[in-house]
């Protein structure tokens, strides 16, 4: 029976497969086979024995390794023995010159490469969805909000483009961190490569080349965990972008705002007691799970502060945070892509909210025009501020109050004021900005 929700409720089969024990075992076996091949290439062990290990190591079973571990209480040595058993006489060379974390951390490098491949793909798919919505809504004018209050107009296209730009930076970050994170090591008991002799550096380089990994420049018994901490901070950064999008969509779906709505199935139930409810549950799930992903940062950073050449305090929590944070981030990327693709946009509500303050949110437009026509900027700000406060207090349109101020009508006619208070004409370069983002980021997209 599943215990953790990532076993059956959250996550994709692909990312779970990266972090399950079968794949972990396969990566360890691959690292041992690559070590033997590298050592043979540099004359450390017989070529025939290395060939035998490479040919037969994959025949080792996880079940047999677990049987051995139950007897000896050492997980890595149990795998070494399980591999040795299927390699015949050549088995005597398995793990030659290595310490446990040479193999374990190298296997982690393989898993991180696989995980980053999946995350990269999902980021690019989400980017495509955001750019599609940005292009679709680049001229859809809506009210902008600062501090939760109505401000000057913006466009939905600009909102989607801002999110897309953020996702684009995550794709860049992923490419930048990959060479620091997707690495392995073969440095021996405390990092000196003493067991490998004079050719230790060459053996490490050959082994990592065979595995498609980068090689550490220097290490002690373990790969320095600053590398892994960067991975977790990347996951937290991605999750926080998704959290940011989710919070905005949830806010815009509030009944009294009602500008967007998550897609709602014909037979979907929103509440066990309130039949009318249509809740933004996918966005809420993303926002909630982002908290868990962010919580992995503290143990990831603490894992870099080990005693001397190493201790074991990193091992237990890494068994939890690697699969958990990776699977949840992957899940949230998939879920938010579904939300963006299916998002229902209520244009009538957008227009209603845009006109809600009867022009008061367009006060800046009038202030700017008054300044252009000769009134001092500070004087213009004060006249329009007073008019706006009066309009709010008296529940009148801003135009009505403005035209009663002789200082204002001296510079702007009634027709000017009505033109200045039209929200569709006050979106600046937002359309061009959106088009620029689309042109720049479209080559990064994957369209499923």
Which residue from 194, 141, 131, 136 is spatially nearest to 165, judged by alpha carbons? 131
The active-site residue, picked from 58, 271, 404, 413, is 271
Instruction: Report the distance separating Cα 359 and Cα 415, nearest Å.
Output: 14
Residue 271: active-site member: yes
Sign for the pseudo-dihedral over CA of 8, 11, 13, 15: negative
β-pair partners for 345 = 260
CA 334 to chain centre: 11
What's the count of helices (H) and strands (E) in the chain, helices before strands?
19, 6
3 state DSSP class of 269: coil
Query: With contact defined as beta carbons under 8 Å apart, do 232 and 297 qualify?
Result: yes
Which residue from 204, 222, 200 is spatially nearest to 214, judged by alpha carbons? 204
The active-site residue, picked from 147, 272, 276, 316, is 147
DSSP class of residue 446? -
Question: For residue 326, what are its two tokens?
Answer: 């990776």
Residue 147: active-site member: yes
Sign for the pseudo-dihedral over CA of 251, 254, 257, 262: positive
Helix axes 21-41, 100-136, angle to 10 degrees: 120
3 state DSSP class of 335: helix
Q: Which residues are marked as active site?
A: 147, 271
């Amino acid at each position: 029976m599943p215990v953790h929700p990532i076993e059956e409720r959250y996550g994709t089969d692909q990312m779970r497969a990266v972090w399950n024990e079968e794949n972990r075992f396969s990566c360890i076996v691959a690292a041992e086979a690559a070590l033997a091949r590298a050592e043979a290439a540099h004359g450390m062990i017989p070529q025939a024995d290395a060939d035998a290990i490479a040919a037969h190591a994959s025949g080792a079973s996880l079940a047999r390794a677990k049987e051995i571990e139950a007897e000896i209480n050492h997980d890595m040595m149990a795998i070494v023995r399980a591999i040795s058993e299927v390699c015949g006489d050549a088995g005597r060379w398995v793990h030659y010159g290595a310490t446990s974390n040479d193999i374990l951390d190298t296997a982690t490098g393989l898993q991180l490469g696989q995980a980053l491949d999946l995350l990269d793909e999902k980021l690019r798919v989400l980017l495509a969805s955001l750019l599609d919505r940005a292009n679709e809504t680049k001229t859809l004018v809506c009210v902008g909000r600062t501090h939760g209050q109505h401000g000057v107009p913006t466009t939905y296209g600009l909102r989607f483009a801002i999110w897309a730009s953020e996702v684009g930076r995550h794709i860049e970050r992923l490419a930048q961190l990959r060479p620091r994170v997707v690495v392995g090591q073969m440095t021996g008991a405390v990092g000196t490569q003493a067991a490998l002799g004079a050719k230790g550096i060459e053996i490490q380089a050959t082994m990592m080349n065979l595995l498609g990994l980068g090689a550490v420049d220097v290490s002690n018994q373990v790969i320095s965990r600053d590398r892994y901490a960067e991975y977790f901070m990347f996951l937290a950064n991605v999750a926080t972008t998704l959290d940011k999008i989710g919070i905005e969509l949830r806010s815009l779906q509030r009944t009294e705002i009602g500008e967007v709505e998550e897609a709602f199935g014909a037979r979907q139930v929103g509440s066990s007691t309130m039949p009318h409810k249509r809740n933004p549950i996918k966005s809420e799930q993303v926002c909630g799970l982002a908290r868990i992903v962010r919580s992995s940062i503290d143990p990831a950073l603490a894992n870099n502060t080990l005693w001397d050449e190493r201790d074991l305090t990193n091992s237990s929590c890494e068994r939890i945070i690697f699969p958990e944070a990776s699977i949840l981030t992957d899940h949230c990327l998939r879920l938010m892509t579904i939300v963006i693709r299916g998002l229902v946009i209520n244009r009538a509500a957008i227009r209603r909210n845009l006109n809600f303050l009867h022009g008061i949110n367009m006060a800046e437009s009038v202030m700017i025009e008054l300044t252009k026509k000769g009134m001092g900027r500070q004087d213009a700000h004060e006249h329009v501020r007073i008019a706006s406060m009066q309009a709010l207090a008296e529940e009148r349109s801003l135009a009505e109050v403005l035209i009663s101020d002789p200082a204002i009508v001296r510079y702007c006619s009634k027709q000017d004021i009505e033109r200045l208070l039209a929200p569709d004409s006050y979106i600046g370069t937002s359309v061009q900005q959106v088009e620029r983002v689309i042109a720049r980021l479209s080559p990064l997209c994957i369209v499923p």
